[in-house]
Structure 1
C-alpha cells in the first residue's frame, strides 16, 4: 500500500471502529485535524504516518479490537495484523503509554513493539495532548486537568499520567519548537 492509500485506509478504519464511540470519535477527529495542521513540518511520508496514527491512536477503544483491555497495545496488535508495523509502534507508545502499561502489568506485551523515538512520535503526543476528551482544542495544562477531572487520583490512568507528565511536556515542547522553526 502506498502512502496515500495508507491515509485512506486509516481514515476508513477509524470510521468503522471509532465513529460509533461518541466523544472518542470527536476526540480522534480533532487530533487528526491538528495533525493535518502541523503536518507541513514533515516530509510527505512522515506527514502521512502522523495523520494515519492520529486516526488510529484510539482505535482499540472499539470493543471488537480489545485483547488486553489497554487500548494502545490492543490497537498495536490490530495494526500488526494489518502489516502496519510503524503505525503499530506509534499507537503502542502514544502519549507515553509505557507508564500505564507498567502499572497494568503489560510491559512485556508493550515491548513486543519497537518504540519510535522521532519527531513524528512527539507530534502524535502533541496532537493528542492539545485535544480534550470531547474533541475541543485545549492547552497542555488544560488537557491534563481534563484527564485528572475524569479519573480519580488513585485511578491507574491518573497515576500513569502523573508519571508521564514530564515526558509528555518535553514532547510537546519539542514539537512546539519544531513548529516555531518551520514558520
Structure 2
C-alpha cells in the first residue's frame, strides 16, 4: 500500500481500516489472476473499497468513495471497482439511489479482466470480517446479519444480494 492510499484511510475507524487493509492484502496476493494492465488498479481499489466511510457525502459509501477518488484523479477502473463492489447496486436500489447516479463510474463489460477483477474485490470483501479476520462467506453474511437487524437497509440489501455475492465468491475461488 502506498503512502497516498494509507493517508486516505486515516479517517476510517480502526476496525474499518483493519478490514480494508486485509481486503487489499488478499487481493494483492491473487492479483496475478487479472491481466497485467489491471493488476495495480485492482489492488488499489481493494485497499480503498471502503474509503467512502471516512468521507461521507451521500451516506452511501461505495458512491462516496468513488466520487472522492475521481475528484483526486484516480482512474475510472479504480472508481468503477469501488463504486460497484460487493453488489452495491442492490443496496443503492434499496436506498432509492437512482442507477444514473452510479453510471458515471460504469465501465464497459468488454474490458478484458474487469469481471475477474471485480470478483476478486467482492471475494476479498466478503471473506474478511469487520476487523480484518478471515471468514467464510457464510460467516461473513451471518456477521452482517447480526450487526444489521432485520428490516434495516443494509440487512434488506445483503439478503437480496446474497446470490450475487455467492456467485462472485465462487467464481473468484474457482480461479485460484
Instruction: Give yes or no for TM over 0.5.
Output: yes
Whole-Å Cα distance in 2 between the matches of residues 136 and 115 of structure 1? 31
| Partner secondary structure for residue 91 of structure 1 | helix
TM-score by length of 1: 0.85
| Partner secondary structure for residue 30 of structure 1 | helix
2:84 alignment partner in structure 1: 93
Q: CA RMSD in A?
A: 1.6
1:71 alignment partner in structure 2: 61
Q: Which runs of 5+ in 1 are unaligned?
A: 1-6
Q: Which runs of 5+ in 2 are unaligned?
A: 110-114
CA contact (8 A) 2:85 2:121 kept: yes
Whole-Å Cα distance in 2 between the matches of residues 49 and 68 of structure 1? 24
- Relative distance call for 1:152 and 1:33 in structure 2 (3 A) is same
2:112 alignment partner in structure 1: none
CA contact (8 A) 2:53 2:61 kept: yes
- Relative distance call for 1:144 and 1:116 in structure 2 (3 A) is farther
- Shift >3 Å, 4+ stretches: none
Pairing 1:45–2:37 present = yes
Whole-Å Cα distance in 2 between the matches of residues 104 and 115 of structure 1? 23
CA contact (8 A) 1:30 1:131 kept: yes
Whole-Å Cα distance in 1 between the matches of residues 32 and 71 of structure 2? 30
Name which of structure 1's ranges 79-88 and 65-74 shifts more when overlaid on structure 2. Answer: 79-88
Whole-Å Cα distance in 2 between the matches of residues 36 and 143 of structure 1? 20
TM-score by length of 2: 0.89
- Relative distance call for 1:115 and 1:105 in structure 2 (3 A) is farther
Summarize deviations over 1:21-69 as a string: whole Å, max 9, x none: 210011011101111221222233322112101111011111xx22111
